[in-house]
Structure 1
């Protein structure tokens, strides 16, 4: 296999200077065209700015891939109501780890994008909803916001344009459900984070019942570069329906995990090729293209284009581009059980299919993993997942069902082996599958080991 050079595969934009000293400061950001996009934005009419972002083809980087410009366009104008921008920085998906390092290393890209977006949708108050556990990131953002206020990029009469904007950084309390945009809005208003019934949609009645745009961190942070370099430059990367660059989070049993910024449409084979591949002596068994809530794929899908259409055609979702890679020492049943335990724990309990369904999925999976399962339990797993999928109040239920469906599709034999063999074939007490010839990996060090 020929390995493409990093220069041919990667397209560092947001991550271009993460490795430089004090990359998070205003001084460093200005040296890399910082706030040039804002200057160009202020020279445009808000409606023209929305049209530019729409024409660029930028799609939401938070999972669903909804066109960013179109979301901005939904905000009604002339309604005499306050408009709000809320940045969803409540990164909680197992395996997803792109927004946290982005905010930690380059927070001013997010702040500049926020000012541009607020100018476009005619908003004068924006919020960043961050997970409260990531204290170092919160400190970085607060420091960057203070720098932006002092330099006149936030506050009253920004850069002498007459445009005013207040930016509030809000620390969430650590609930996965608050990554769902309407649950986030309820939490931001001081209520229990639970999804809202829609319609009305946030664009009409969002935060404080006013028109609101909710965007992902990476979506907003990508906007300044489009202003600086143009929509044609942005569209020169990726595909027609999935243009531009994005951050791929490579983790798991790989030689060099990390953030790899590349055009949409790159393949996992290419990313593994430039990152050193799987850990020495091991091969890829299964992987997730967008975090644990997306249907898992196998080594047969190494050449699937990692864009919204390519991954969708392969039967999964691009999601947050969280590429969790597992090798042949990993028990699929064990991995899916751990993910399902997470979803059962994080279910808000508002709807019956998710609240009850995830609970029973966990009971069945634990029995199967422990060797107490029956053959009919496999069909029961599939049936319960089907009763959750598409029937829960929000997408958490769909995310919990995805690993069930896909793992049964590709690895049903492994489930059956747990039943017939009365336990996990990857258990160190029963098998040598977890042993590493070089003693680099033992059961006590395993990613999924208890």
Structure 2
């Protein structure tokens, strides 16, 4: 069901490790060619194109592209009380963590009369994408919206695919979560077309839409499939994006003390997202590897999404990787750079401190990835495909910009004027120096 990779006794360079470790094959380049006409059509034809594309890809032609306010409130009223309580708890925890993320302004006195300040300013408007294919994700509404609200963004719009069984509106749970968060600008638009709508805006096509359906945004965030990733690649530069998110990943670094039942359950929990989901166990213990393989067989047979899980575990993106010791295991997981990394070892907290590349780290047997997906307070929109080597998960920082404010008085400028002129002349930009001399 799941393959093994034995790295014991092998000394490998970083390049060799990257070539050996399992990874989902995600051809964003090919998807970009398919997505480009969709983006162009939305840009040119607005609401007409959005309805045509919904009919083509989602099997329904929405009457309302912008969800009516009464439909959002009806979804809130119809929300299962247990689900509502869970969402409200999740919102509270995520808001608490993200409130602490806002970076602080600062002022530096470089010299007498010479001051540089830095202000953090939220972007004006954001577009938040919430998938709705194999599953629906009210939890992703929480993660995207709360981070943007904590950053102080003034205008938030959410898009999620129209559902045939909900009259062409997004999932009721997605709408209800928007209602709980005070979001009233929600669009029944999915996939690449939603990304295009956010990037370029869209004109309406009738009374149900209004003259302008959607204004352009400054930043687009949220997970999605390869076509969403390709659309983000196409509009990057027109707008900011969080990342070109790929299929979900879980890596677990475990020694012989780990509970095989826990490990198998956690691998299956992420494998049920998508047939391309990656599930990787890195372990020092052959005994644990065998026990996990046995537990996986039992769990896959009984899980609701068995076919999807089976394909994910059997795919080239999933494997059990055997290593010599924990130091070797850390080298492997740092090279892999997982979206989610669990540490199930002796002294797991100390081991976690040595991890340098991961979207989020889950420490010990009672911090499973499922906790982070819903209720930890952390954000579950995380870098995939090795992007954790250079990118962070979604947070307040995704929606703010640093603006530097420079203020020198006459004396402070005079004190460095000769040096500015010297550098300007060295760079053969004499007008720069003349702009300084003009003041004295």
Q: Same fold (TM over 0.5)?
A: no
Q: Under a length normalisation based on structure 2, what TM-score does the superposition of the two structures give? A: 0.28
Larger radius of gyration: 2
| Higher relative contact order (Cα pairs below 8 Å, separated by 6+ residues) | 2
Q: Under a length normalisation based on structure 1, what TM-score does the superposition of the two structures give? A: 0.28
